[in-house]
Structure 1
């Protein structure tokens, strides 16, 4: 293949029309006539891999630039059909780091790389992840600024044998810019059509020479985003207002995106070439952001263990001096209003003010906690790479990554502290750190009869994962003096980490791998890989991969892979202790999460299930992947078509909720043990969960990409269709994976997603239109499920249209205006929002629910 052929292939990489090309997601075209000798993509360890045996999507920096919303998850969702992510408006930690699904699998089943090196895991465990992601602990891609990216590569294939744990659904590699000159500046502002959710962002990138043979490429981004509200007034809140309660907010509970404050991202990518055979490199990041979101509304008549203990018949009154002879009055509730005379006795200035207390004095209209936190993310990777005169290539590196999440909850109470409760709490901190040392070697071995040298790649990895839980402030987990009178302990809505939760939990592992690949003939590529890993907590695992690609003609090639994979349980999943407030069967319920090795969890599980199951130590998930695909041309249209099948055994997730029977003396005794050991809220737990390896799924699907570059009206144009069909089946419904979980796994993501993108450039003008189709889906046990039972949770397919027009003002200056969801399309509404906790739209909608978003962007290149 001569340079002209290589140049042509790269020039239409955005359209992917090259014969036999294995890259299947478009990137915008390279300048015509520019010659590039090497293309590096994931999925192959060969030095000059123009064709890979597995499908790889390549997304250019220009494509990210044309997506209106600056959030990385939303950008990937707009460009990769098999990538799904929901808004998560009221979902505890999920609000801070949204769980994303590639090919319908949890976020920690996708391996994330930066410059080909493993990125550290995020500090958030997704306790509430819409069923699919419950309990997942994946990486956080939010700290990566888009202006720092040269391209993003998405390997849509199992690759655990090549890259290690987590690479079951695929691999996403963020490739950083590496220019030694030039600078770029971007200013962006946007807002939803509804008039809220304004976002602003400033970003800059600069390339600098580092000595005579090096570069330092620096990127910075600062942004903020206002919250949105797509809420109706709750029926119970409206009833309070109708009864004369003037302290109730409207709406009492907000459904929308959280507020993002002071989001700052910095990335540095550097390298220095000492000579042709030795290069040193370093890259790393530092990022912070603050997130402020909403929680569920606490009704001032009915909220259990704060306002009442009998479902709202009477107020729960605290006796401030239980040892004296004064008795607190009974405050009855009638027609949504407490007895005014009785309430006046114990309120400020009343005769019994110093003797009795009710939380109506502090929050007469009820309260809605605000939950969020500050995330600090940082990483550093350094290494040496080069080659010896023998042809042996090497890459020796060390990496450190850290994700720290400090939680904050305010506008809430620790009810067990009575009138002395604070209303603002720091519940504690999660700190995830990953340390990696890698030695990667490759040697081109000349073998007679092969069309290319046999690439022999082998290496070693040492990795340590550490999850640290720091206790919160005392009041956030304290069991106060009024707990004995029936008041709940811990900061209401998100109890703090206490002494029973704090600790440092770590695991080490080592790995060895061998990877072979060669052109057997001019038309046939074969590859195989095997990887052995040893973990200090659960032993060893060995995985393999076999892959082939064969060109039947110059314009038609077939490819296939077969592999096994695994995902190791994280130290956080194996050791976390939490209490969670969530909606269960239409009621706000306190639930607990206990470690699977906790003897209390095992005993409680066994008793609650009549001995059907018990908690057990976690073991790795295991997968079997196979793919079959083809790349071909239909005239000027380039097509790639790939089928995939992933069987995943021993999936690690939070089990379905196990109800606690408070009439069972054995269960009550265990709850007393939890309470005495300092677990906040244990006395009010109604259900509990633990992590388990419990069920098996089979996920299959098809990815289709068709591209057409063409000339129109004197300009350059392209049409690109990317379509994904994914279907997941729960192989067995067990006691821990019930019918609800089955719906969540099988039907909560759209079966089909399609993205059709058209672009046209002529003179200083550029135009882009993108149409995204989301197939129908079902939301099981949505917090807004119709209380009347008339709504079955099914939502129809939706079509979203994005448009952008940009104009080159002068050399280096470009102004763009555009809109996402330009026709302001939203999901099907709930039939009775006021009965659905105020939620107007399904909160787990894969397309979002905020509606149209307009934006303007100024780009300056020097």
Structure 2
């Protein structure tokens, strides 16, 4: 197991040994300029000064090139990042409603919406989905990989520089601006013979005028589902009891959904008499299909016979039961434009406007609203979630000369206005209607995912205004300090937030530097978190029967009903607040070796999460019916988003790299390790062992990646080993969780590329080449599940792909 002390000792040893390494002798001697690595790459994230490199940064930054992204098979950018950056983790979450399509990803183990996403330095809009614990983050899958020049991942708090959400860090996606033509076509498939995925992309760029350009990128993907399922034991018994019925095997599929996506990106710039104009935009369209839990005709309440519908028997429609089919149609649009220039020779300005919108429409087929009897359709339009954002920015950079400074200082300041709107559009009447059969115990609403009712629908907005200043101060030849502060005021809650950041970097010599940061941050609640409501259905792991639960607004009527209890108070949401401290060492030498180690601590107060679950009494159920709450007659439990507890996250990031010319080729070795631990400090989770364990242990505390690349003139080879430490899963029972511990896992990826000509390259590879699978899940086996639905890695086995690419 990796620990802070062992990693620190290892780093000290490596740095000491590497400092003494002689220059290696090969067929061609490697010069420092030839072995230029990420340490010398110019960055734009986390600094407003020009010409800063990764080595110069006072905070840790990962630089991910387009070539690194192309070494992964997935069409989802989050999957690619998770394979390359150990501190970035993502789950598959099959049969988790909308999260199977918009999957939550975390940086340094914090909430998915604690990481700010930028495109070309401009804030990216959120997804319409509120995921686990209410997190509402951008959907990185909407960005085509073929449109990306590089990605900069800032692993440090940056709210004082960029505003709300940057508690864990910042992901800045830099779009390609090249004036060339290139494209690819790829086919992949899992060793089990499923999950076929056809991908294709093309990027075309051209120059405009002097320094102008326009670059357009297109990407398409069509992926079939995967299934790692066994037949459910109750389905086997049902087939024995009813030999006249043909029962599918398996009755439900645990795995990745079917998806078809289209992504487009445009990046452009043009010099004008007023300044340099720029415009970039993305457009995404997609659809997906996923299984829900199988409904057993012998035990599921939807199949009950009642006097209300004496001539209706659901077995006539679904003699072998049914697994509702959950569909998502998504639409994503973003447009940013601006004008920038220089006045008075030392004042740079940038005026920009951005608009983004993500909409998700849900549909259900192979389902029923049992409370309507024979009048119910079997397919439903569930409703639509829409997140819209508008951003206006005025940013300035000023070069300040002072005799007390070693060099000129960079002073950045600016203003920002942002408006967020969240809208829920209702589904069709039958998707949420409470029919006559509800009084006899037949569940209402489209089975599996009741539709959004008019009472749950509507639109809510909030706006914010902020002002910031960011100063970079070269105090001496060796010492550099940074100061940043930001004030931000939101319309829908509380007082304004003032955040600050102090950073310092001391260069011991040209190859060794010390760095540290101290900052405060915050994450404002979104309109979706403040006002949205949702009812849903689940399958009890023990009884295998359906239960209905609801998540309601902390300021709504249901919250008032629960707050009438003597010992309960449901409160309006507040901002999450954080303090972040980090310290690190960065080292390089002329032999091609570079390394960094950073230790950090992030305290987050007033964390937003779902509250404890409240079981509804019969009298409260009557009140819910009286309030016209959808499914109120069958709801057994409710919860709310609440600011409920404080956490402390501590960890260490270690990055090692080595580049050399070997014989006629170039060898690059990189490794990155992350140790990350989150503890609940106080709040209701402290005494609730079940919930606290879910929060603290669901993700591995230790992850690592080791990669080797060897490039010859016409051949390139890559090998990567990914390590995931132990973690703890939970069962999801309605009467309390049961936990299962999972051990560590290693996955090995390999690929090879061959240049067929100057313009065409053929590649082949395999992710998880040894077809490794984790331990089987114990507590959900009676639902047909083999591998945990919450696993922090792909559980589908070996994925083999072949790709052909061209560049003109």
Q: TM (normalized to structure 2)?
A: 0.92
Equivalent of residue 559 in structure 1, options 500, 506, 515? 515
1:818 is matched with 765
Change (3 A) 1:97 1:38: closer
**1:44: which partner in 2?**
47
Which secondary structure state, in structure 2, belongs to the residue aligned with residue 319 of structure 1?
coil
Q: Which residue of 1 aligns with 2:199?
A: 201
Q: Does 1:278 align with 2:275?
A: yes
Matching residue of 1:596: 554
Deviation string for 1:292-333 (max 9, x for gaps)? 1111111112213x124xxxxxxx32433xxxxxxxxxxxxx
Determine if contact 1:479/1:489 at 8 Å carries over to the other structure.
yes
User: How far 1:746 moved relative to its partner?
Assistant: 1.0
Report what 2:285 is aligned to.
288
Contact 1:455 1:518 in 2 (8 A): yes
User: Which runs of structure 2 are paired with 1:486-525 in the superposition (5 Å)?
Assistant: 486-525=441-480
- 2:646, 2:683 within 8 Å by CA — same for their partners in 1? no
- Residues 1:586 and 2:542 are matched in the alignment: yes
Q: Equivalent residues in 2 for 1:126-145 (5 A)?
A: 126=131, 129=132, 134-145=133-144
> What corresponds to 1:838 in structure 2?
784
Deviations 1:469-508 (A, max 9, x none): 1111111111122222222211111111111011110001
Confirm or deny: 8 A CA contact 2:380 2:428 kept in the other structure.
yes
SS in 2 for 1:205: strand
2:622 to 648, 654, 669: 669
Q: CA deviation at 1:35?
A: 14
Matched-pair contact (CA < 8 Å) for 2:356–2:388: yes
Q: 1:633 to 1:785 in 2, by over 3 A?
A: farther
Structure 1 residues 201-350: aligned runs within 5 Å: 201-245=199-243, 246-261=245-260, 263-274=261-272, 278-304=275-301, 306-308=302-304, 316-320=305-309
**Paired residues of 1:655 and 1:737 also in contact (CA < 8 A):** no
CA contact (8 A) 1:586 1:783 kept: yes
Q: Which runs of 5+ in 2 are unaligned?
A: 1-16, 20-31
Q: Which residue of 1 aligns with 2:614?
A: 658
Match of 2:413 among 424, 440, 458: 458
Counterpart CA distance in 2 for 1:784 and 1:550 is 54
Change (3 A) 1:120 1:318: farther
- The answer to whether the 8 Å contact 2:35/2:659 transfers is no
Pair 1:210–1:426, CA change in 2 (3 A): same
1:338 is matched with none
Residue 162 (structure 1) shift: 0.3
Aligned to 1:418, the other structure's residue is in SS state: helix
**Pairwise CA RMSD:** 2.4
Counterpart of 2:505 (choices 527, 531, 549) is 549
Please give the alpha-carbon distance, in whole angstroms, between the structure 1 residues aligned to 2:122 and 2:18: 29
Contact 2:622 2:633 in 1 (8 A): no
CA 1:832–1:734: 2 relative to 1, 3 Å: closer
Name 2:532's counterpart in structure 1.
576
For residues 45 and 371 of structure 1, the distance between their equivalents in structure 2, rounded to whole angstroms, comes to 45
Q: Is the 8 Å Cα contact of residues 541 and 780 (structure 2) preserved in structure 1?
A: no
Which ranges of structure 1 fall in alignment gaps of 5 or more residues?
1-16, 20-28, 309-315, 321-354
Change (3 A) 1:584 1:556: farther
Change (3 A) 1:190 1:217: same
Q: Which residue of 2 aligns with 1:121?
A: 126
Q: Are the counterparts in 1 of residues 541 and 732 from structure 2 also a CA contact under 8 Å?
A: no
Q: Is residue 784–residue 830 contact of structure 1 (8 Å, CA) maintained in 2?
A: no
Give the Cα separation in 1 of the matches to 2:276 and 2:419. 26
User: 1:474 and 1:73, CA in 2 relative to 1: closer, same or farther beyond 3 A?
Assistant: same
1:312 corresponds to: none
Whole-angstrom distance in 2 between the partners of 1:566 and 1:478: 40
- Report SS of the residue matched to 1:683: coil
1: CA distance, partners of 2:773 / 2:155:
29
After superposition, the Cα gap between the structure-2 partners of 1:693 and 1:736, relative to the gap in structure 1 and judged at 3 Å, is farther
2:284–2:333 contact (8 Å) kept in structure 1: yes
Q: CA deviation at 1:632?
A: 1.7
Q: 1:398: Cα distance to partner?
A: 0.3
Q: 1:672 offset after TM fit, Å?
A: 2.4
Contact 2:685-2:692 at 8 Å conserved across structures: no
| 2:472 is the alignment partner of 1:472 | no
Identify if the C-alpha distance between structure 1 residues 810 and 785 changes in structure 2 by more than 3 Å, giving closer, same or farther: farther
Secondary structure of 1:195's partner? coil
What are the superposed Cα offsets for residues 627-646 of structure 1, whole Å, 9 maximum, x if unpaired? 01111247753210001111
Give the TM-score normalised by structure 1. 0.87
- Name the structure 2 match of 1:807: 754
Q: Whole-Å Cα distance in 1 between the matches of residues 453 and 735 of structure 2?
A: 34
The alpha-carbon distance between structure 1 residues 681 and 784, as it changes in their structure 2 partners (threshold 3 A), is closer
Give runs of aligned pairs for residues 436-451 of structure 1, distance below 5 A.
Answer: 436-451=391-406
- TM-fit CA distance, 1:680: 2.4
Distance (Å, rounded) in 2 between the aligned partners of 1:833 and 1:533: 46
Aligned to 1:420, which of 354, 359, 375?
375
Tell me how far apart the structure 2 counterparts of residues 578 and 318 of structure 1 sit (CA, whole Å).
31
Number of matched residues? 774
> Judging changes above 3 Å, is the alpha-carbon distance between structure 1 residues 34 and 317 closer, same or farther for their aligned structure 2 residues?
closer
Query: In 2, are the aligned partners of 1:786 and 1:832 still within 8 Å (CA)?
Result: no
1:854 paired to 2:804: no
